[in-house]
Amino acid sequence: MTEALSTIDYVANLEKDAPRDILKLTTGMAYAEERKYVSVTVPEVLALDKLEIYHLVDVQWGHVCCQEKRFIEYRDFILAEPYRFTVFGGDMINASTMLSKGLPWDDTMPPIEQVYRFVNVCMPMRHRILGYVGGNHERHTRTTLGKGVGSFIASLLRIPYSEGQQSIDIHFGAWKPFKIDLWHGTGAARTEGAQLMMLVRWAKSTDGDLCLVGHLHGAVVKPLWRRLRNVKGKALGIKKYYACMSSSFLEFWGTYGEIGGFEPTDVCMARCIIEPTGKFEVTVR
């Protein structure tokens, strides 16, 4: 049994321990508490020679098979260097209810306590979180609370949130800007080809340099290219961009993946290294 949380003490501790912002974030396209557009400026005073952006998705904190220690390792790894940041891709808590596809017996605590515990774990890196999109697990509570819990998590962490998609511009060096598009993903694809089709179809509808999804608990890194017109120079060019899917922090054994006969996966999160020269590369970690 987990220790009961005092709401008064909880909020007071959040305020006391919350790190201050180090980047300049502005937002646009407000839909109630949601923000669909985020602009990030990296101050020159930080003297960073690169940025590393880590996609964290499908944590499903509170599930009996969530690898909580692995998530905390990622958090501490990100905090270990000043140039490391993250974006949240959805399904950050499990949030099972009596009306959701997964049932409360899958979880170690009720959804509201999952929110509190997850926010506690994430608070030390709140100033490194550039954006957050909700997933189907955040939306589990819509049938009981009338609203997904993602906006509650984002409000406590004071980070920009969108229940659907979010575009993030990063102004850094020659990048004016580097463009990230976030979406949790959709469908129940089981084969590599079907997963890739979902990812690429969406990525081609954006203008992002880096397009990130999760949801299907697989890992994909797919380089793509767009044709560009240089109207002033009357020439054609080609621009590289990446479509990536990150996996999950859930164990395979003992979960619906094993029961359903899905392909086993382990934690494999997309990482983008952005150089101030206008170059970038994408790997997984």
**What is the pLDDT, as a whole number, of residue 263?**
83
**Confidence band for 3, pLDDT divided at 50, 70 and 90:** low
Please calculate the CA angle 23-25-45 and round it to the nearest 5 degrees: 25
Cα separation, 252 vs 67, whole angstroms: 10
Judging by beta carbons within 10 Å of its beta carbon (0-12, 13-18, 19+), is residue 93 exposed, middle or buried? buried
Query: CA-CA distances (angstroms) from residue 47 to 21, 84, 114, 175, 184?
Result: 16, 13, 37, 15, 32
| Contacts made by residues 109-115, CB under 8 angstroms, sequence distance 24+ | 109/2, 109/62, 111/62, 111/140, 111/141, 111/149, 112/149, 113/2, 113/5, 113/62, 114/61, 114/62, 115/149, 115/152, 115/153, 115/156
pLDDT of residue 12: 76
The pLDDT score that the predictor gives to residue 4 is 56
Token pair, residue 164, equals: 């659907």
239-263 average pLDDT score: 90
Q: Looking at the chain, how many residues does it have?
A: 285
CATH architecture of structural domain 7-284: 4-Layer Sandwich (3.60)
Cα separation of 239 and 234, whole Å?
16
Q: Is the pLDDT of residue 1 over 50?
A: no
pLDDT tens digits for range 99-113: 777 777 889 999 999
Neighbour-count burial of 56, counting CB atoms closer than 10 A to its CB (0-12 exposed, 13-18 middle, 19+ buried): buried
pLDDT value of residue 260? 76
- This prediction's pTM: 0.93
d(C-alpha 225, C-alpha 204), whole Å: 9
pLDDT tens digits for 47-92?
A: 999 999 999 999 999 999 999 999 999 999 999 999 999 999 999 9
d(CA 137, CA 150): 9
Q: Where are the domains of the chain?
A: 7-284
Sheet holding 24-31, edge to edge: 24-31, 34-41, 165-172, 175-183, 210-213, 235-245, 220-230
> CA–CA separation, 111 vs 102, rounded Å?
12
Give the span between the Cα atoms of 140 and 31, in whole angstroms: 20
